[in-house]
Structure 1
Amino acid sequence: MARWRRAGTAGRDDASPLTGTENVRRVRAVLALGGVPWDEVEDGVQEVRLKLIQTQAGLDGKEIRSPEAWMSVVASRVAADWHRARIRDTGLRERLATRWAKWPPDHPQEDRDLALTVANGLEQLTLLQRQVVALRFYADLPVHDIARLLDVPEGTVKSRLNSAVAALRTRMRDMEVI
């Protein structure tokens, strides 16, 4: 079994704990056991990598004593964060449906159809995409506030918004709403 070697170890150019396949497998396993859906596990691995980079930058040249344990703990925290995000998102569709059920009768039917198509399209998005769409377009928060609330970089928020809007646009075209 390949083990991670400490920085400066001969014969290894990249001493990052998350470059070894065994360590990546371990992180994936912790995320999957933590309840993260398989299609979102790679996003979780990337979050662990980002936290590793941030942690190593803050250590001023020191090393993480037990990288395997550190990665497992961080991966379990990422899984817990995923569950917290899912709980925050729970009921979004129901709240939107309730709002649209009270749609004024004088509004055109096309507007109601569009709103229901968007609600159905939201179900097809990943949890993280739904979260940023709801915060951006329903809570009307700017990208930098969303990034601060979710504790992710602004670029991540923009990327999630871009992919979510593209997916919604495709869904709406498929349903011939737009």
Structure 2
Amino acid sequence: MAARRTVRPQARNTRTSLTDPAIISRIRAVLALGGVPWDQLDDGVQQVRVKLLEATPLGQVRNEEAWLMVVAARVAADWHRTQKRDTALRQRLANRWSRWPPKHPQEDRMLALAVADALETLPAGQRQVLTLRFYADLTVRDIAGLLDIPEGTVKSRLHTAVGAMRAYLSAQDVI
């Protein structure tokens, strides 16, 4: 009696799967179903390719096609998060510029000068965090990472700086 040999499917070469038109078509379908616009599908496919090349050494993924589809779904979700964040930023900028030109330019100039004077009175650390938060529109987490300080320190400096600014501007009778 002959011994049975189990035949294992050959692991697909990563480079082959990245150029296989059938797999690329499936990736595009997952991205399209995920809501990525047609004109950005090729960019999504490229992101999936990069993630595959960066994240997985050859042969560690059992079912590479399934893995690619999961990554494509995640790329589509990331696209939605990015769109939501960009839309909110555009809306904030539009709100700021909708008030331009200012109704009371003289008052705005006086406020701008008073804010500049108040900023000069702050210690360097507080001035730095305040500027990054309100002028560069960075989050507390981003500021902490950029300055390599704890988030609590950023929050504390912001709180103290805003209080000092408020007191200075009130004393100058600007606000």
Please, what TM-score do these two structures have when normalized by structure 2? 0.49
Please, what TM-score do these two structures have when normalized by structure 1? 0.49
